[in-house]
Each structure stands twice: as structure tokens, then as C-alpha cells.
A = this chain, B = another copy of it.
Amino acid sequence: MAHKFPEVQGGGSLIIAWQIRGKKVVVVGGGEVAAGRILHCLNADAMVTVVAPASGLNPEVAHRVSQKQVQHIDRLFEPADIDSADMVLTAVDDPEASTRIWKLCKEKHIPVNVADVPPECDFYFGSVHRDGPLQIMVSTNGKGPRLAHAIRKYIAKFLPKQAGAAIDSVGELRVKLRRIAPGPEEGPKRMAWMTKVSDAYSFEELCSLTDEDVDNLLRFYTPGNVPPLDILFSMRDNPDLSKIDVFDGSFGFSIGV
């Protein structure tokens, strides 16, 4: 029986999508590494406070401060800075200060990352590809940060251009479906049909769906079918077809004649 379950492959990390919308993240330091951390946090809608003397801010961090994208405490770190923090990220060239901050965070149970000091990190960062709702994070588990960056670029090259839009389309399909079949009693049918849709099309195919396709696709919900992609594409700009409501699942009818 044992062989049918996945083998444990130790040595990895638990890769998770941390939710920091509206949460207070304190970034100690204002250099290049801090700039990267700040952008990651802003992309996740955090309220970011940067603690660093103005004289030491890198141009990107100074830009975020001047645009009021982050709060700025213009001096060196003081313990009270993290009093109400939900997360702390330090990126300063001062190992002793870093260790003090690490210990303080541990006392207060605040998740913390001390750049370049793995033992003082509750979590590591990786290289992240972003395309709308899609986020792909590459971690080499500390073996090669530059390589993580290269792999991220490699993946970005191969991903369909509409990857993020496809996810939005599927999200939109789910929302519209709930609008045309709102009842809770429809729940299982909605879920079953969405699963059918996911199984019927490959990721590349989903990436090729337009808003019009999504609307046309919804017409197959009532009979509970999912059409082959060429049928769906044939429905584009086909006003006559829009009157057809006999989708019997055989898809044997002529399209566009």
C-alpha cells in the first residue's frame, strides 16, 4: 500500500502566500535589498514603515518615501519601532543590530527576516514572477539566489502572454456563473461544471479565451456541457448562433453556416 502515496522529500521550505493586506510591515534599512523587500510588500498591499536615516536611502526607497507609498522614520532603529508590527524585515550592514532586532521579534512573536543571515529568518524570499493575479515564486532553498532569478526569467519566457488574464477570465466565469445560477442549491452543479471546464481545456487553451468566449461558454452551463474549443471559437461574432439554445452535448450541429 505504501507505494501509492507520495514519498516525503525533505530539505525544502514551506512555500506560502502570506497575507499582509493592510498589515504593518517594518523594514529596517534603506538600501538596495530593502528596496526589493519594500516592493514585494507594497505589491501585497501592506502598510510599510521604513526605518533608516534619510542620508542612507537608496534612490528607489527615497522615491517610495517621496511618493508616500511608505511611512518613513528618519533615524536608526529603536525597539519601539516594531511595537505594533505584524512583520519585520531587516536589511542593514550591522550584524549586532540585526541580532538584537531578531531577538526582539522572537520575544514578541513577530515573523522576521534578517537579510543574509539565514539562522535569523523565519522565512526566506525568492524570485517572483508577477502577472496580475498570478504569482510564481522560485526558491533554490538558499543554494543560488542568482539562479532563482534566472529560472524565474526562464519560466516567464515560456508562459503564455495571457496567463494572468486567463486566471482573471476563469475568476470572471465563476462570478458570472454565480449570477446566472445563484441559488445555494446550484452549488454542487456549479462546482461540477467549473471542474469540467478546468478539465476540458489545457492551460494554453484557457489563455486563448476572450471575454466573448467566456460569455458563450456560460450558455453551456444549463445543459451541463463544456464544448470543444473549436466550437467555442466558431461562436465568435456569430449573431445567429446566439439565438441557438439547443446545446445537446453532441455538438453535431453546423456552426456558422
* CA distance in complex: A120, B189 (Å): 26
Smallest Cβ-Cβ distance to A146: which chain B residue: B198
**Chain A interface helix/strand/loop/mixed:** mixed
Copies in the complex: 2
* CA distance in complex: A141, B126 (Å): 17
Task: Contact check, A46 vs B136: say whether CB atoms are below 8 A apart.
Answer: no
Taking CB atoms, residues of chain B closer than 8 Å to A45 are 10-12
Question: A187-199 interface mask toward B, CB cutoff 8 Å, 1 = contact, 0 = none?
Answer: 0000000110010
* Distance (whole angstroms) from the CB of A223 to the closest CB of chain B: 22
Task: Contact check, B67 vs A128: say whether CB atoms are below 8 A apart.
Answer: no
Task: Contact check, A63 vs B1: say whether CB atoms are below 8 A apart.
Answer: yes
Taking CB atoms, residues of chain B closer than 8 Å to A20 are 13-14
Question: A234-249 interface mask toward B, CB cutoff 8 Å, 1 = contact, 0 = none?
Answer: 0000000000000000
Task: Contact check, A17 vs B14: say whether CB atoms are below 8 A apart.
Answer: yes
Taking CB atoms, residues of chain B closer than 8 Å to A170 are 143-144, 147
Question: A118-150 interface mask toward B, CB cutoff 8 Å, 1 = contact, 0 = none?
Answer: 000111111010101111111111011011001
Q: A60-B5, A143-B168 are in contact. Are A15 and B12 (CB under 8 A)?
A: no
Interface check A217, CB cutoff 8 A:
no
Interface check A203, CB cutoff 8 A:
yes
* CA distance in complex: A220, B48 (Å): 45
Q: A10-B42, A43-B10 are in contact. Are A17 and B123 (CB under 8 A)?
A: yes
Taking CB atoms, residues of chain B closer than 8 Å to A17 are 13-15, 123-126, 137, 139, 141
Additional A-B contacts beyond A17-B139, A136-B136 (10; CB < 8 A): A9-B43, A14-B19, A14-B46, A15-B16, A15-B17, A15-B135, A19-B121, A135-B141, A136-B138, A147-B167
Can you offer 16 A-B residue contacts whose CB atoms are under 8 A? A2-B63, A5-B63, A8-B42, A10-B45, A11-B132, A12-B45, A13-B19, A15-B137, A16-B18, A109-B109, A136-B138, A136-B139, A143-B168, A146-B194, A150-B206, A154-B159
Residues of A at the B interface (CB closer than 8 Å) are 1-2, 5-6, 8-20, 39-46, 59-60, 63-64, 67, 69, 87, 108-111, 113, 121-126, 128, 130, 132-141, 143-144, 146-147, 150-151, 153-155, 158-159, 163, 166-168, 170-171, 174, 194-195, 198, 202-204, 206
